[in-house]
Structure 1
Amino acid sequence: MSPFISVVVPTYRRPALLIKCLDALINQSYPANRYEIIVVSDGPDPETFDAVNTFRTDKLVTIHILALPEKRGPAAARNLGWRSSQAALIVFTDDDCLPHPQWIRAFSDVYRITGKRMMAMTGRTIVPRSNPPTDYEQNIANLERAEFITANCAITRNALQTINGLDEAFTMAWREDSDLQFKLMKRGIRIYPVVNACVTHPVRKVSWGRCLKEEKKGMFDALLLKKHPEFCRMKINVRPPWHYYAMILFFVLAWSGLISQNIPMLYFSCCVWLAMVMLFAWKRLQNTAHTPAHIAEMIFTSAWIPFLSVYWHLYGSIRFRSFCV
C-alpha cells in the first residue's frame, strides 16, 4: 500500500494564491485517501479560513486548516503543521507554488524504495519568467539552482523530531531552509535529490522598488552564520559584497567634502559614487528588461541597496551577536 503522507502548506493573507496551490494538490496522481493537506496560517487570517472552508472538491483528500495565534513566520507555521500531522513522511511546499501531478508520488516512491526512517528529499523547482525577465524575476529564479528549499522538500517525521524541526528564530522567509538543510547534514541525515518531484513557482507581481524591502531579510544571515559557520563558508556568502562598502565610503567622503567645503574631494567622491551606482545598475540590467520603468528602478534601487544591505546585516550582527558585516 502507498505510504500515508502529510502535505504542509504555510500561508498568510494570500487566499487567491493558496486556492491555486490547493487545486494542484488535490489533483495529484497519488491515491487521494493516502495523503492529507494541512494549511497553516501564520497568524489570524479570516479570509484564508473562509477560502479553505468554502473550497469544494469531489476528491477524497482531507484538508485541515490551522493558525498560529500571532504572526511568527513560515518556520513556526511549518512546525505547527508537521507536529499536527498524522504521517511518517512530511512534504512541504508554499502557497505560491503549483506542484506537478506526479509530485507526491515521486517523493513517495523514493521513500518507499529506500525504506529509511531518517531521511530527507529535495525536489526540482521551475520558475517561469518573462523574456527578458525583470531583476526581481531573476532573483526568484535562483530557486531553480538552490540545493534545498522548503518550497519543495520532504522529510520523515523521525528526522524532523531528531533535529527539533525548523528554527522559529527565523521569523521571515529567509535562511530557514538553509538552516534546516545544515541541521540535517550535521546529524548525518541524507538528503536525496528527486528530480521528478517538481513544482512550478510563478513570480507574482510586486510593487516598484520591492527589492529594497527584501534587504531586511539579510539580518538572518547573521543567525545562520552563528549556527553554522563551517557550512556558511562552504556554501553561502552571507556578507555584503565589497563594492557595497566602497559605495558607502565614497558617499560618506562626498558629504565630508561638502561639510568641510573641500570641493576637490566633493567632486571626486560624487563622481566615483555615481559611477559605481551606474555600474551596479548596468550589471543588474544585463539580460533583463530594458523598459524605461525597469531602468529607472534599477538605477534608483542600486543607490539604496548598499546602505540597506549593510544596515540590516549590522542589525542582525547585533541582534544575534554574530559578526556578519
Structure 2
Amino acid sequence: MNCLDALSQQRLPYGQFEIIVVDDAKDEATAETVAEFIRTTGIETRYLAQPQRLGMAAARNRGWKAARGRIIAFTEDDCLPQPDWLSNALAVFKRGAQVISGQVRVPVKDRTTNHERVTFADSISFVTTNCFILRSILQRVGGFEEQFDIAWREDSDLQFKLLQLGVPITKCPDVRIIHPIQQSSWWTSLKEERKQSYDALLYKRHPELFRQRIPMYRSQIVRYYASVCSVLIGLMALMMGNVFVAGLSFALWFMLALTLIMGRVAAEGADPKHLTYAVATALAKPFLSVYWRLHGAVKYKVLYW
C-alpha cells in the first residue's frame, strides 16, 4: 500500500498515467488493497493476478504488455517513488531518451547485516526497480527472459540485451525512488545461495558481458571449492582407512573454515549472537554455493563454476 500511496502523490496529473499491479502471489489481500486504493483516489489502476507463481520477469512481462502507454515504468511493491518520479522521467523522454535508469536510494541503518549490505550494493547497478523503457524497445528485445523465475539477474539480462542492440541507457539521478532495506533473518543469505544457479543462466546467455560487468569473486569461490573438496577427500580417506590423508584434508578444511568465520565475524560483529550466526553461515555457505553453481551448470548446460 505504501507504494500505491507514493504513486498517488505524483505531480504528474492522474489522467497522464495508469497503474498496473501484477500480483505473482494471487493474494486476496493485495486485490482488496488495490480495490480500496481505487475507491479512495480514483486513479486508474488495474489489478492482474498471475494464474500461478511465475516470478518477477513473467509478472513484468504481463504488466507491460497490458499497459496502454508508450512509456513503461517499472518499480516494486516495497519501493517509494518520489513525487517527481514520473514527471522528471517524462521530461527526459521528451529530450529523446529511450531507456532511463533512475536512482535507487537505500536508507542504511547504523548496523546492517552482510546480506543487507550486498542488497544495497546491488541497488547501485542497473535495476528494473526504477526503470523506464519505451514499449517499442521492450518489443524489440522481447521483454524479460522468463527463465529467470526468481527476482535475480532478470534485470541484468534485460540490460545486456539493450547493450547488444546498441540502445542507450540514460542515467537519471533526478528520477528517484526510496527502497527501504527489508529486515532479514540470519539464514536468508544461505537461502539465497540458489541465486548462483541463475548466474549460470546469465553467463550462458551473455558470456562476454557477464565477464565484463558481473563481479566474479574468484578467490572466494576457490576457497569454497577447496573447502568442499577437502571434506570429501577426508571422508573418502577415512572410508579407505587412510588416516594420514584424512587428517591433512580435515586440517585444510578447518583452516579454510576458520578464515571464513573470521571474515563473517569482522563483517557482522563479535557479540555471541552474531558469532553463532557467523559460524553457522561460514560452515554451510561453501557447500550451498558449490551445489547451486554446479546445479546451474548442469541445468543450463554451460561450463560455469
> How many angstroms does 1:168 deviate by?
0.8
Q: 2:145 aligns with which of 144, 162, 167?
A: 167
* Counterpart position of 2:180: 202
Q: Residue type matched to 1:215 in 2?
A: E
In the other structure, the counterpart of 1:140 is 119
Quick check: 1:245–1:306 contact (8 Å CA) kept in 2?
yes
**Range moving further from structure 2, 192-201 or 257-266:** 257-266
Question: C-alpha deviations, 1:226-261, integer Å up to 9, x for none?
Answer: 111110111114587211111112212322343234
Q: Which runs of 5+ in 1 are unaligned?
A: 1-18
Q: Which residue of 1 aligns with 2:283?
A: 303
Listed as ranges, the gaps of 5+ residues in structure 2 are: none
Greater helix percent: which structure? 2
Q: What displacement does 1:272 show? A: 2.3
Q: Runs of 4 or more off by more than 6 Å in structure 1? A: none
What's the TM-score once normalised by structure 1's chain length? Answer: 0.87
- Name the SS for the 1:220 alignment partner: helix
When the two structures are aligned, how many residues end up with a matched partner? 303
Instruction: Give the Cα separation in 1 of the matches to 2:295 and 2:217.
Output: 13
**Cα separation, partners in 2 of 1:291 and 1:93, compared to 1, 3 Å:** farther
Structure 1 vs Structure 2: percent identity of aligned residues? 36
Q: Distance in 2 between matches of 1:201 and 1:63?
A: 22
User: What SS does the aligned partner of 2:18 have?
Assistant: strand
Match of 1:12 in 2: none
What CA distance in whole angstroms lies between the structure 2 residues aligned with 1:286 and 1:38? 44
Tell me, in whole angstroms, the C-alpha distance in 1 between the residues paired with 2:256 and 2:61: 43
Quote the residue 2:77 is aligned against. Answer: 95
SS at match of 1:286: helix
Pick from 61, 82, 86: which aligns with 1:104?
Answer: 86
Is the aligned partner of 1:62 residue 2:44? Answer: yes
What SS does the corresponding residue of 2:46 show, helix, strand or coil? strand
Per-residue CA shift, 1:123-154, capped at 9, x if unaligned?
111222322311121111113421x1011111
Residue 204 of structure 2 is aligned to residue 222 of structure 1: no
Alignment of 1:229-240 (within 5 A): 229-237=207-215
- TM-aligned CA distance change 1:43 to 1:160, over 3 Å: same
Does residue 1:120 correspond to 2:99, yes or no? yes
Q: Does 1:48 align with 2:26?
A: no
Alpha-carbon contact 2:84-2:175 (below 8 Å) kept: yes
Deviation (angstroms), 1:26: 1.2
Does the aligned pair in 2 maintain the 1:132–1:287 contact within 8 Å? Answer: no
Q: Report the RMSD for the aligned CA atoms in angstroms.
A: 1.9
Give the superposition deviation at 1:176: 0.4
TM-score (normalised: structure 2): 0.93
| Native 8 Å contact 2:268 2:278 kept in 1 | no
Matches within 5 A, 1:144-293: 144-146=123-125, 148-237=126-215, 241-293=221-273
